[in-house]
Amino acid sequence: MNKKRVNRRQFIKGAAVSSVAVSLLPKVALGSYRKNSKMRIGVIGTGLRGQWHIKLALRREDVEIPVICDIDEQMIGMALSVYDDAERPHPKIYKNGEKDYQNLLQKEDLDGVIVATPWHWHAPMAVAAMESGKHVGVEVPAGLTENECWGLVRASEITGKFCMILENVCYRRDVIAVLNMVREGLFGELLHCQGGYQHDLRHVKFNDGQGPYGNGVEFGKKGFSEAKWRTQNSVDRNGDLYPTHGVGPVSTMLDINRGNRFVHLTSTATQTRGLHKYIVDQAGPDHPNASVKFRLGDIVTTVIKCANGQTVMLSHDTNSPRPYSLNFRVQGTRGLWMKDNNSIFIEGVSPEGHQWEPDEPYLEKYDHSLWKRFSGAKNVLSHTGHGGMDFFIVRAFLESIKRGVTPPIDVYDAVSMSVISPLSEKSIARGSTSVKFPDFTRGKWKTNKPIFALNDEY
Amino acid sequence: MNKKRVNRRQFIKGAAVSSVAVSLLPKVALGSYRKNSKMRIGVIGTGLRGQWHIKLALRREDVEIPVICDIDEQMIGMALSVYDDAERPHPKIYKNGEKDYQNLLQKEDLDGVIVATPWHWHAPMAVAAMESGKHVGVEVPAGLTENECWGLVRASEITGKFCMILENVCYRRDVIAVLNMVREGLFGELLHCQGGYQHDLRHVKFNDGQGPYGNGVEFGKKGFSEAKWRTQNSVDRNGDLYPTHGVGPVSTMLDINRGNRFVHLTSTATQTRGLHKYIVDQAGPDHPNASVKFRLGDIVTTVIKCANGQTVMLSHDTNSPRPYSLNFRVQGTRGLWMKDNNSIFIEGVSPEGHQWEPDEPYLEKYDHSLWKRFSGAKNVLSHTGHGGMDFFIVRAFLESIKRGVTPPIDVYDAVSMSVISPLSEKSIARGSTSVKFPDFTRGKWKTNKPIFALNDEY
């Protein structure tokens, strides 16, 4: 830690804790509340997702992003346009090769770092950020292997810096309203949840190297944006590659890592057809990519068992034509909610026995206080992506830094969600055998209390 | 085989094959087409389900049911009322204890037997029926253990008599229309199917001993109808106890046993809450049944892998308040159908990319020829139960006897569906480990051709 950093931290400690609400939150104090000084945030990875985070963060007057890092000149240029639009001075840029982020972390005095790079960089960069004394907000998934997940936990525990996974769907208006319903006991005791990532990504995995979506069947060096690196995962790996959007929200409902935990899973994959078919359909059988062998089964079904008995079914379905759906279903001893038919049934509440009713009145009634508080603020929520949930995830990251508390989605959540991918790969490779989850909390899940979205703070 | 039986078979062989359509069917001839003589059917088990079969069969002038068997006087009386309503003479009744069905099978000259008894009698009775020279239609599930399933296969192969599982949902109007879509390639190559049995059976598993549904928390000796015996399965077993309604229809779509087969499965069960809660809620914590320990997890999720790569997810969910749903989803490389939202999406056919459209026009367009042929015949379809599908399953059983051909759902289908229960129990007992399916066809699945609902015959 350099001298500048130490001085800055001493300065911050001088700020007074000013909010009674904050003191009521069951958070571990990591520092002190910051009233006057601006938070200094770095962004590593200024692709489309990183640009989005920059845009959201720069809307806040208490945030500055004095430094960014990427190795793609085009993406850096696009990021600078975001600064221009926000009428902010351009940042310092680290762009000298894949390891230049290490220079950024060592040299810069920052409160926190957002990591929005290709997946395989998430864990190494997040660990390095914490080791350099910075809190980190890392895009999904946080780690790709069990070892990477353990590395994140160790780094956070040793450094005292937090690692928040930026799992935005936890804040989606409907699922966080359903979380309210769960907490108020509407479903009784939870039994079974479903989630997943059912999203036709063929137009993301392939493009023409010029624009991100549609047109072309290129990937890797010839691809643009995510096609540059994401698609290779479909070549090399067979498993649930992207579990967090589906499992994040149900983790909060099931109190995972806080009274409950994932115990084991099985995964089963279908045959591999969609990506090859797409290449051939679009560019003919003679295109070089028509000979690429993809390993990823088109649909991967994962079933998780929880310590408290519940089951979670996840579907990963990204290679086939289909409407988008995160496959949510939340079921307990009194009833259930199902997103795909926008319906709910609660025994003793729903007017007709055995009959669905529309979920909309329930979603309105149980609208989360966070949404109630901020949904009226047009400047905050307009154009903030994914129906506003990105606003909340970035806000939670920044507010946790500002208040000096653990974030509402912490390193244990980051790894219990992310480790599903490597466990899923292992299960499939072994004929769908049952694979045990590591207990990343080392027993603390038994006594930890829920921390996510307990009120309208973050 | 007694003398009378042999004489009768010789008589039947004298009947001429009269239909060109029949000769086109890819069926194995088991006997000859019967033009003039009435089929003689016996019914073992005259509970509510057996009464229903009697009612349906007696609507046909080419059928007589000269003999029935049960040990419950009340149910026998109700069955006789069905004869009265049909203006048919009363049958001979075997009712002298649980083994009296053996006397029926040994003494009576019958073409076929319908078995609609409690589950644990299905396999022994079906085997005994075949060994006595009679074709058998057996209610679901056909067997409860791997051994019972093998016993059914061996009996059918040795005797040359068929064992048809009476899985009515295979004929449900929507799923058989979807089968048409599958066969015409609308979904492309199939990847993943879902099915299940999501049915709040608390009012079936418990009653007051007087009527079948609602009221009371009695079961076993104090229960009525299915509560007498079905509920004990929830005490003794933890697994997918009732897989055939969900898996039967998708088996036909996936060509199971005919070019494809089930290879392995995993099952995962939730905690056990619903039945105990129901007893306490209805009758208080001091009711004797409040101390019964149920083993069945409230929701059991099973994932099956097929030899051709596809996966099947089944949900068994019978202890909780919820709307009825068999959970159907059929997905291929071009699109998918999903029952719970009554929607379909087919790439290049659906007008909007990534957008569901209502399934109704598709279900009409692909309405199966069987339904087209018979849906106009009011006398045939009215009051025939479960939206008409019971008519078709009973018809298929009877027509197979009449035409002397293998039925459209044969012994291999009966056991590949039914064996899911014991395999599921094994998987759960071993922490959701992957469990292999026996190949009941002993390799013949590779060359067998589809036989189900190929035209409007049965």
Mean pLDDT over B216-243 rounds to 96
For residue B26, give Cα distances in angstroms to A334, A416, B163, B448: 49, 53, 17, 10
Query: Which residues in chain B touch residue A271, judged by CB atoms under 8 angstroms apart?
Result: 189, 191, 308-310
Q: Is the ipTM of this complex over 0.95?
A: no
Q: Report the 3 state secondary structure along A126-170.
A: HHHHHHCCCEEEECCCCCCCHHHHHHHHHHHHHHCCCEEECCHHH
Residues 6+ apart with CB under 8 A from B4: B109
The residue written with tokens 């046993």 in the block is B257
Q: Would you tell me which residues 302-341 of chain B have a C-beta closer than 8 angstroms to some C-beta of chain A?
A: 303-305, 308-311, 313, 317, 320-324, 331-336, 338, 340-341
For residue A376, give Cα distances in angstroms to A356, A370, B331: 31, 11, 40
CB B335, CB B188: distance < 8 Å: yes
For residue B87, give Cα distances in angstroms to A435, B55, B59, B81, B337: 62, 11, 10, 9, 44
The residue written with tokens 């979920």 in the block is A359
Tell me the pLDDT band of B5, cut-offs 50, 70 and 90: very low
Tell me the pLDDT band of A20, cut-offs 50, 70 and 90: very low
Residues 6+ apart with CB under 8 A from B431: A264, A434
- Structure-token pair, residue B375: 């849906």
For the segment A175-208, what is each residue's pLDDT rounded down to a tens digit? 999 999 999 999 999 999 999 999 999 999 999 9
Amino acid letter for position A141: P
Q: What pLDDT does A215 receive? A: 84
Alpha helices in A284-409 (DSSP H): 360-365, 369-374, 378-381, 389-403
Residue A319 per-residue DSSP state: S
Residues 6+ apart with CB under 8 A from B402: B33, B34, B39, B62
What is the nearest CA distance from A278 to chain B, expressed in angstroms?
Answer: 10
Residue B89 per-residue DSSP state: P
For the segment B240-255, what is each residue's pLDDT rounded down to a tens digit? 999 999 999 999 999 9
Residue A185 per-residue DSSP state: T
What is the nearest CA distance from A358 to chain B, expressed in angstroms?
Answer: 12
Exposed/middle/buried for residue B367 (C-beta within 10 Å: 0-12, 13-18, 19+): middle
What is the nearest CA distance from A32 to chain B, expressed in angstroms?
Answer: 43
DSSP one-letter string for B220-245 = GGG--GGGGTHHHHHHH--S-S--HH
Return mean pLDDT, chain B.
92
Q: What is the CATH number of domain B172-371+411-446?
A: 3.30.360.10
- Specify the pairing of strand B435-436 against strand B262-269: antiparallel
- Structure-token pair, residue A257: 């890592």
CA distance B269 to B160: 39
For residue B50, give Cα distances in angstroms to A32, B1, B68, B115, B139: 74, 26, 10, 8, 9
Mean pLDDT over B204-219 rounds to 90
Edge-to-edge, what's the strand order for the sheet holding A299-306? A357-358, A343-346, A335-338, A329-332, A190-198, A311-317, A299-306, A262-269, A435-436
Domain range list for chain B: 39-169, 172-371+411-446
What number of helices (H) and strands (E) belong to chain B? 18, 15
Exposed/middle/buried for residue A447 (C-beta within 10 Å: 0-12, 13-18, 19+): exposed
Q: What are phi and psi of A353, to 5 degrees?
A: -65, 140
Residue ranges of E strands in A318-434: 329-332, 335-338, 343-346, 357-358
Return mean pLDDT, chain A.
92
Residues 6+ apart with CB under 8 A from A183: none
What SS3 class is residue A293? coil
Tell me the pLDDT band of B15, cut-offs 50, 70 and 90: very low
B26 pLDDT above the threshold of 50? no
Q: How many residues does chain A have?
A: 458
Q: What pLDDT does A458 receive? A: 85
Q: What are phi and psi of B194, to 5 degrees?
A: -130, 150
- Specify the pairing of strand B329-332 against strand B190-198: antiparallel
Query: Which residues in chain B touch residue A340, judged by CB atoms under 8 angstroms apart?
Result: 338, 340-341
When mean pLDDT is compared across A385-394, A410-419, B40-49, the lowest value belongs to A385-394
* Domain B39-169: top CATH class: alpha beta
Tell me the pLDDT band of A425, cut-offs 50, 70 and 90: very high
Cis before A141 (ω within 30) = yes
The residue written with tokens 């059918």 in the block is B156
Residue B421's Cβ-side half-sphere holds a number of Cα atoms within 13 Å equal to 27
For chain A, say whether B238 makes contact (Cβ under 8 Å): no
For the segment A78-98, what is each residue's pLDDT rounded down to a tens digit? 999 999 999 999 999 999 999
Per DSSP, what are the bridge partners of residue A266? A303
- Residue among B192, B303, B343 whose CB faces A266 most closely: B303
A388 pLDDT above the threshold of 90? no
Nearest CA in chain A to B325: A354
For chain B, say whether A238 makes contact (Cβ under 8 Å): no
A136 pLDDT above the threshold of 80? yes
Q: Among positive and negative, which fits the CA dihedral B142, B146, B148, B149? A: positive
Nearest CA in chain A to B347: A321
DSSP one-letter string for B325-340 = B---EEEESSEEEETT
Residue A16 per-residue DSSP state: P
Q: How many beta carbons lie within 10 A of that of residue A438, not counting itself?
A: 16
Tell me the pLDDT band of A330, cut-offs 50, 70 and 90: very high
- Residue among A322, A324, A333 whose CB faces B320 most closely: A333
Q: What pLDDT does B62 receive? A: 96
The residue written with tokens 């979506």 in the block is A213
Residue B217 per-residue DSSP state: -
Question: For chain A, how long is the longest CA-to-CA vector?
Answer: 68
The residue written with tokens 């399933």 in the block is B149
Tell me the pLDDT band of A211, cut-offs 50, 70 and 90: confident
A255 pLDDT above the threshold of 50? yes
Question: Which residue out of A191, A304, A337 would a mutagenesis test of the B interface target, given it has the greatest number of B Cβ atoms within 10 Å?
Answer: A191
Residue B188 gets the label, from left (phi > 0), alpha (psi -120 to 50) or beta, of: left
- Residue among A191, A297, A355 whose CB faces B270 most closely: A191
Q: Higher model confidence: residue A27 or residue A389?
A: A389
Tell me the pLDDT band of B130, cut-offs 50, 70 and 90: very high
- Residue among A297, A345, A431 whose CB faces B322 most closely: A345
Query: Which residues in chain A touch residue B313, judged by CB atoms under 8 angstroms apart?
Result: 301, 313
Q: pLDDT above 70 covers what percent of chain B?
A: 90
Residue B338's Cβ-side half-sphere holds a number of Cα atoms within 13 Å equal to 18
CA distance A276 to B334: 13
Rounding to the nearest 10 degrees, give the CA dihedral for residues A51, A55, A61, A65.
10
Q: What pLDDT does B16 receive? A: 34
For chain B, say whether A213 makes contact (Cβ under 8 Å): no
- Structure-token pair, residue A286: 């003679």
CA distance A320 to B191: 10
Q: Give which of B403, B394, B344 is closest to B370, Cα–Cα.
A: B394
- Cross-chain Cβ contact A299/B192 below 8 Å: yes
Residue B64 per-residue DSSP state: E
Mean pLDDT over A308-324 rounds to 98
The residue written with tokens 């229309």 in the block is B177
- Structure-token pair, residue B185: 């390639």
Exposed/middle/buried for residue A183 (C-beta within 10 Å: 0-12, 13-18, 19+): middle
Tell me the pLDDT band of A227, cut-offs 50, 70 and 90: very high
Q: How many residues does chain B have?
A: 458
- Structure-token pair, residue A382: 């307009």
Per DSSP, what are the bridge partners of residue A64? A40
